[in-house]
Amino acid sequence: MQFHIKPGAGYMKVEMRIDNLNQATAKGIRHAFYDIGKDLIATAKKNILKRPRAGRTYIVRTGTGRTIKHTASKPGESPASMTGALWRSLDFEVRGADSMEFGYRESFSANPRTGKAPSGRGGVIYGKYLEDGTRRMAARPGLLIAINGNRGNMHERFVTGLKRELT
């Protein structure tokens, strides 16, 4: 006795669905990275603006000659905002389904004459020194604090992103 098995119309549907599985998975992961990036930016910005600060308080003279009272962050806290440049430089970039970069944008593309970055693309060069510290200053790890504060959400973002694309 022999059985002859031939693929039917249903077989093609299964094959097509499996072929699209890789694309749908990658799309779900990209969506999850995007949502995680938005969460990280929101948390980091909230922490930069958080009050009260526990660091040193001092008087700062602005570029316009005005003086303001500024309270710095203490070591281990998110950096305190003085000008808003650090806050505005927070950014993320999804790099396909493989990774996402999150951090302070640097202003390497600034106009050499004016020192200003193109509109909407400003950045700071001191973000890495705040995050890691220097030999004269302890770290203010704002990015790491934002990541640790969102660790629980990250898994849920991946689950939601994959479910959205695979169902």
Q: Which tens digit of pLDDT belongs to each residue from 137-160?
A: 999 999 999 999 999 999 999 999
Evaluate if pTM is beyond 0.85.
Answer: no
Confirm whether 32 is domain-assigned: yes
Q: What is the mean pLDDT of residues 62-79?
A: 90
Confirm whether 71 is domain-assigned: no
On the question of pLDDT at 1 being above 50, the answer is no
On the question of pLDDT at 32 being above 90, the answer is yes
Percent of the chain with pLDDT over 90: 58
Q: Tally the domains of the chain.
A: 1
Residue 166 CA to residue 27 CA, distance in Å, equals: 10
Per-residue tokens: 66: 């005005």
Instruction: Specify whether the CB–CB gap between 23 and 91 falls below 8 A.
Output: no
Task: Give me the sign of the Cα torsion angle 24, 29, 35, 37.
Answer: negative
Would you place residue 166 in the very low, low, confident or very high pLDDT band (cuts 50, 70, 90)?
confident
Confirm whether 63 is domain-assigned: no
Return the biggest CA–CA distance within the chain.
98
Confirm whether 126 is domain-assigned: yes
Instruction: Specify whether the CB–CB gap between 47 and 140 falls below 8 A.
Output: no
Confirm whether 101 is domain-assigned: yes
Most confident of 40-44, 51-55, 59-63: 40-44
Per-residue tokens: 108: 């390497």
Helix 9-49 crosses helix 142-166 at what angle (to 10 degrees)? 160
Confirm whether 1 is domain-assigned: no
Confirm whether 102 is domain-assigned: yes
Confirm whether 69 is domain-assigned: no
Domain of 96, in residue numbers? 9-49+76-166
Residue 82 CA to residue 146 CA, distance in Å, equals: 19
